[in-house]
Amino acid sequence: MPMPLPTFDDVLAAAARIAPHAHATPVLRSSALDAMAGCELHFKAEPLQRTGAFKFRGACNAVWALDDASAARGVVTHSSGNHGAALALAARTRGIPCHVVVPKGANAAKLANIARYGAHLHTCEATIDAREASAARVQAETGATLIHPYTHPHVIAGQGTAALELLNAHGPLEALVAPVGGGGLLSGTAITAAATAPGCRIVGAEPEGAADTADSLAAGERRIDFVPDTVCDGLRGTLGEPNFALLHAHHVEVLTIPDTETLAAMRLLWQCLKLLVEPSSAIALAAVLRHRDRFAGQHVGVLLSGGNVDLDALPWEHAT
């Protein structure tokens, strides 16, 4: 039976649940980036979150929402990096086992993070079907609770706390832009904005080479039969069913961005904010810069989702 869709009450409960463990990340400003974008930008700096990404919010909420008996059996997930590291650390804060299924060829820096936080790693082929099958096998063998990277309601609610902090501290905003892959962050953001800032437009930023969310919303149904081709390794997942339902219900707009512009935005954020972000995060700024006319003169929130970059593979030669 499908789990119920999370509500704003669940976001508020998540905020209280994760408060002892998660950082309230800063909001950064740059007059240089404001001038380039033609609007006033407020950057929510989730690369400064624990594990280096917003994912810790949802993982922490899911882990601490478990009853004691379930928690004792541990948790399991599949992840290309950030969610796996987040779940591993969240599990460590509660003293329970964590199993993470990782696809072959995943980002080396992100895999190192998962291992650093004490997870048991299980390698599989680099397809969604292989990831899900491997996670189901580990779950059956261990009795661990599956915490899906973006469809679990406690994960979605936890991700919504980033927008809650931003809107409480720097609202009202006329638009809020966030990356979208599986849809956990964007759907949590949509729930929060609808309740606290109903006049705020919610905009997703998605790679042109993995545009299943834009295609799905345009068609009015999930369109997930695609092979991702993007440098944004954190945005290659397929849009989840509950995530699609929430994005559709909240009339979220999605803009698709070429990788070249995302990498250029990544470099700008390093130069202007002195913040190292991964491509899957920089795409949010790239969306604003590509569509200046849609944001001109407005107060715009930008959710910078993560900063776990493989420093041995910085892609600057592709960004010029």
Q: Kindly report, residue by residue over 217-255, the tens digit of the pLDDT.
A: 999 999 998 889 999 988 988 999 999 999 999 999 999
Contact 265, 305 (CB under 8 A): no
Q: Given this model, what pLDDT does residue 317 score?
A: 55
Omega before 207 within 30 of 0, i.e. cis: no
Domain ranges across the chain: 8-52+152-318, 56-146
Question: Angle at which helices 55-65 and 153-170 pack, to 10 degrees?
Answer: 130
Q: Can you give the three-state secondary structure of 126-171, one letter per residue?
A: CCHHHHHHHHHHHHHHHCCEECCCCCCHHHHHHHHHHHHHHHHHHC
Strand 253-257 and strand 201-207: the pairing is parallel
Cβ within 8 Å of residue 58, ≥6 positions away: 14, 83, 86, 150, 152, 154, 155, 156, 157, 158, 159, 184, 188
Task: Give this prediction's pTM.
Answer: 0.94
Contact 202, 190 (CB under 8 A): yes
Over range 264-279, report the average pLDDT: 97
> Is the pLDDT confidence value at 148 over 50?
yes
DSSP 8-state assignment for residue 298: -
Q: Kindly report, residue by residue over 178-226, the tens digit of the pLDDT.
A: 999 999 999 999 999 999 999 999 999 999 999 999 999 999 999 998 8
Task: Give the whole-angstrom CA distance, residue 238 versus residue 78.
Answer: 13
Question: And the tokens for 139?
Answer: 């779950």
Indicate the fold that domain 56-146 takes in CATH: Rossmann fold (3.40.50)
Exposed, middle or buried by CB within 10 Å (0-12, 13-18, 19+), for 288?
A: buried
Reported confidence tier of residue 276, pLDDT bands at 50, 70, 90: very high
Please state which CATH class domain 8-52+152-318 belongs to: alpha beta
Over range 51-67, report the average pLDDT: 97
Question: And the tokens for 256?
Answer: 């698709």
Q: Given this model, what pLDDT does residue 129 score?
A: 86
Over range 52-73, report the average pLDDT: 97
CA distances from 242 to 32, 147, 156, 182 (A): 38, 14, 9, 10
> Is the pLDDT confidence value at 319 over 80?
no
Q: Given this model, what pLDDT does residue 1 score?
A: 61
CA distances from 292 to 35, 253, 259, 273, 296 (A): 11, 15, 18, 20, 6
Q: Given this model, what pLDDT does residue 178 score?
A: 98
DSSP 8-state assignment for residue 202: E
Q: Kindly report, residue by residue over 83-130, the tens digit of the pLDDT.
A: 999 999 999 999 999 999 998 888 777 788 898 999 999 999 988 789
Beta strands in 152-307 (DSSP E): 175-179, 201-207, 253-257, 299-304
Q: Kindly report, residue by residue over 37-48, the tens digit of the pLDDT.
A: 999 999 999 999
Q: Given this model, what pLDDT does residue 12 score?
A: 98
- What does pLDDT average to over the chain? 94
Q: Which three-class secondary structure state does DSSP give residue 23?
A: coil
Question: And the tokens for 148?
Answer: 């899906």
Contact 152, 3 (CB under 8 A): yes
Q: Given this model, what pLDDT does residue 113 score?
A: 83
Q: Mean pLDDT highest for which of 28-32, 308-312, 313-317? A: 28-32
Q: Given this model, what pLDDT does residue 127 score?
A: 82
Over range 296-317, report the average pLDDT: 87
Identical fold between 8-52+152-318 and 56-146: yes
Q: Given this model, what pLDDT does residue 20 score?
A: 98
> Is the pLDDT confidence value at 320 over 50?
no
Contact 162, 25 (CB under 8 A): yes
Evaluate the CA torsion angle 250, 251, 257, 262 in order and state its sign. negative
